[in-house]
Structure 1
Amino acid sequence: MSLDFIQKSQLPTRWGMFELHGFHDAAKDKEHIVLSLGPISGAGSVLVRIHSECLTGDSLFSLRCDCGSQLEEAMRLIAKEGRGAVLYLRQEGRGIGLLNKIKAYHLQDEGADTVEANEQLGFDPDMRDYSMCQSIFEHFEIDNVRLLTNNPKKVQALEEMGIVVSERIALQTGQNPHNEAYLAVKAGKLGHLFDKNKS
């Protein structure tokens, strides 16, 4: 999958001055962005977060998931390090889309867990695709990353495209009473790695 780089601009945030890079996937008519800070092109192992869009968590402050908290923590850690990147991928609801995600939330309100809800709607538990990352990494000349993730499938996806994942850094934040069951399912059914001693 090849993405077209469109343009970049500065993006001031409370963590510092990031650069915002826009990419377009013509085949799927999808827009993806990268938030970068400091020198990342051809600069050794880069601190990276691959983050799939979550409107409810990232923008509406939902406590049903840990997505918004993970995005904020990733930006904070990148700013602390002085360089790194967030690949923000437009694949809402693990790839099922926003309206289907609301349908899945309704099923969860009635007792289904996050995996069961997707399956009841006729979807796989996780429909996300990380192949677009290859074009992004090639654009920035990145071939070695320290990946901020709890999801081993992201590590596997990058390694399969030839990216060296020199370290997986846990991103465990945002736990609350509303997402306890959700996080338990992520660990038990989706294979996410959590340190049970962390709160």
Structure 2
Amino acid sequence: MIDTDDALHDTARSSGVEHVANVRLSTEHGDFLAVGYLDRIRGDEQMALVYGDIEGDGVLTRLHSECLTGDTFGSKHCECGDQLSAALRAIVSEGRGVLVYLQGHEGRGIGLLAKLRAMQLQAEGMDTVEANLALGLPADARDYRVAADILHDLGVRSVRLMSNNPLKSAALLRHGIEITEQVPLLTAPREENIFYLRTKRERFGHHLPHLDTAADPS
């Protein structure tokens, strides 16, 4: 673990984050350093959970989009809560790593209320992309600039990115973070989310090979 707050500098890249606070955070997965940031451009409050010495290359990293329904309430409609727990366990097992928890990414960037409206449309038969578009919203409105800014501020030069989404890798590369490996983060599909997961694979290109053997919902 990082032994002093001095190991992280209170400087920010000119592109937009302000390093606000460091505090020890004991979780069921392990003891992390919670590093708080303000996104000067959007005004969002952001947090990274740091475990071990993360400065340098090849740091195991998860960019996790906030999901109130999945992360907090354990919704079976998505895999977000399962991925969050799996990523934190993997980082602790690795001995070093960082999880950037991205506020402003609810519903792939459309916000909580719009996400709930989209879920209503999905219950009526639309897939997740069709539902967003039917509401006049982007299929995916997320931006990863702030995540790259945070990683730069933490001294991370390259990452082993825990993600099934090729767009995340491409976004980090555009913002100056090298990807040394894309590490799959696969969770067991459920009857409630198998259609959603297959839509992510077919419409967004997510790498989800385990769905090939998953049973169709009855």
Look up the match of 1:109. Answer: 123
Look up the match of 1:124. Answer: 138
Amino acid at match of 1:54: C
Is it true that 1:89 corresponds to 2:102 in the alignment? yes
Q: CA RMSD, aligned part only? A: 1.2
Deviation at 1:109? Answer: 1.1
Deviation at 1:134? Answer: 2.3
Look up the match of 1:74. Answer: 87
Aligned length: 198
Distance 1:68 1:38 in 2: 23
> For residues 83-126 of structure 1, what are the alpha-carbon distances to aligned partners after superposition, in whole Å with 9 as ceiling and x for unaligned?
10001101111000001111111111111110011001111111
Look up the match of 1:181. Answer: 195
Amino acid at match of 1:16: G
Amino acid at match of 2:94: E
Look up the match of 2:77. Answer: 64
Q: Are 1:57 and 1:66, in contact at CA under 8 Å, matched by a contact in 2? A: yes
Look up the match of 1:20. Answer: 34
Look up the match of 2:160. Answer: 146
SS in 2 for 1:189: helix
Look up the match of 2:7. Answer: none
> For residues 22-69 of structure 1, what are the alpha-carbon distances to aligned partners after superposition, in whole Å with 9 as ceiling and x for unaligned?
111132221111011001123x21000001000000000000001110
Q: Are 1:70 and 1:174, in contact at CA under 8 Å, matched by a contact in 2? A: no
Distance 2:102 2:129 in 1: 21
Look up the match of 1:46. Answer: 59
Deviation at 1:162? Answer: 2.0
Distance 1:111 1:118 in 2: 13
Amino acid at match of 1:166: T
In structure 1, runs of 5+ residues without a counterpart are: none
Q: Are 2:16 and 2:39, in contact at CA under 8 Å, matched by a contact in 1? A: yes
Distance 2:21 2:185 in 1: 29
TM-score by length of 2: 0.88
TM-score by length of 1: 0.96
Q: Which has the larger radius of gyration?
A: 2
Change (3 A) 1:166 1:6: same
In structure 2, runs of 5+ residues without a counterpart are: 1-14
